Structure 1
Amino acid sequence: MAENGAASSGSRVNPFSRREEFSSRELILHRITTIVTYIIFVITAIYYTFERPHEGHQPRHTIWGQNLATPFKQNSVMTSIYWIFVLLLQLVYAYSLYSRDTVYVNAAANIGTHYIASNLLLFGFIHLWVRSHLWLAELLIVVNFFNLTFAYFRHSTTPRPIHIGTVAGPLAWNFVALYWVGARAVNKDTLPARIVGNIFIWGILAYGAFFLVAFKDYTMGFALSYLAFSTGVGQFLTKLPVFQLQWIFAFTIGALLFILSLGVSSGKAPLRGGEVVSEDRERAPLLHDGPDVPQE
């Protein structure tokens, strides 16, 4: 009994621990911090999409004004649409914190600390990115990559409506952003940099294939496929495409991930593999669609 009490006390102290239930006070705290960090992040993203900072390190840019020619330049319209979709799904997550369905409430609360941390890290990233503190911006992307990766493995049974908006969608972008921001920080668009980029871009395919094989998570596959297409369009429009291969590789990777994800989602997966998590888990929302919205 003492050991169980100590374990329970430890989980209360650690905000990232997985818990079976939450007190009303803890749920109120999650609801407040979720909506506050969501609003802060969204307002910051919208503002710096259209405005440059008026102070700080030179040169200063808007978010997409910093999207200069590199081997991983993305298409601003496609990636913006991606984030609009993710942010709308995050409203479903926020609504889940008010649901009477304990499955949704506990799942949302368990993922909450990782989600709040991600919002704050991305808020800091935007401020550094538009002010050209590129290596510090890359550092925050790396930290958030680990934050969201831990969230994925710790909470792999999160219901799909919550999983896509708070974990799969942001994590897929965060992985691609490691290349996008890193390439901008290196600030090279030379032939050697292009060759390195031609090699590293295949990491997107390997990363997506891992989740398709290990988790059968086609949501990650579709997300990475879309972002690969965004990179392909960004590369195609950067300069005369006949003189480079990056856009061809990006479109190829996007197409392969889309086909593989479609196969997994239809149950006719061309990939074979086991589950990273236990097969005898009580619920497998990554394989079970369930209700699209929390129950009242």
Structure 2
Amino acid sequence: MERQNPKNMRERTPETTRGEETEEEQIIEEETLEEPHPLLEERLTLRKPLGILFDLGDTLLTYLKFDPEAGHAATLNIANNPLGYTVADIDNQIKRLNRDLIPRREKAQVEFHPHIIQRHVYEALHITFDRTPEEVERVFWRAAMSWQPEPGIEYVLEILRDKNIPMGIVSNAAFCGNTLMWEIEQQGIADYFRFLMSSADYWVRKPHPLLLETAAAKLGFKPADIWYVGNSPQYDIAAAHNAGMGAVWYNRLDAPLDGPDPHVEIKSWREFLELVEGFYLKL
């Protein structure tokens, strides 16, 4: 039997239609909602999670900075640049591509592989490298990006692993999965996850359901038995609904809702752990 959701979590559920209720029935219902029985309240549509999938940026890891100019400077330091192009030249080339391609990407819910973008940028400027595209990408990432674990996430991941709940990561990213995996290795949380999927490696991006459907198959469970946890209603919660998964909105910063309603909204990883333990409570 499943325990009620902790009171400090916000549940997003359809409101009851009350047009045909008598005044006495309305009073009884209001009193019931104010004093819910701990074992009878069953408004959540979530199932007990057999597996859990997470978004990456601002869900597992806090996004601290993105400095593309520092990244371009680092890549130029390892480049063959016969015409002497500058960081500003590379930045302008990328901005020109983004103005055209990003609206197309969002409309079609597809992702562009970073190495293809590299070719359009560097080949047009006659810039070459003696390293692989993945190595060039890593040089850029290390110089441009800064992250740290979200508060409390490592303790929660440890508890979930102790409960033998398999976990994976599914991220919208214009970087390869190997680069993202390198980052979570640096942050010390890679061993908790069976896999990491970057949209750059899978052609589609959230909210398209295919990413999460593939992730569910990799975990070995039906989508309805999996929760997807992310910070973006527009991408993460929408993708979870599209794939038929439990949708958990991690909203530590108390942001306004800019997408579909989640099944549950949480403000901290402590709240998330309480939610999971409620479903695993043995009565």
Using structure 1 for the length normalisation, give the TM-score.
0.25
Higher-RCO chain (CA-CA 8 Å, sequence separation at least 6): 2
Higher Rg of the two aligned structures: 2
Task: Return the TM-score normalized by structure 2.
Answer: 0.26
| Bigger share in helix | 1
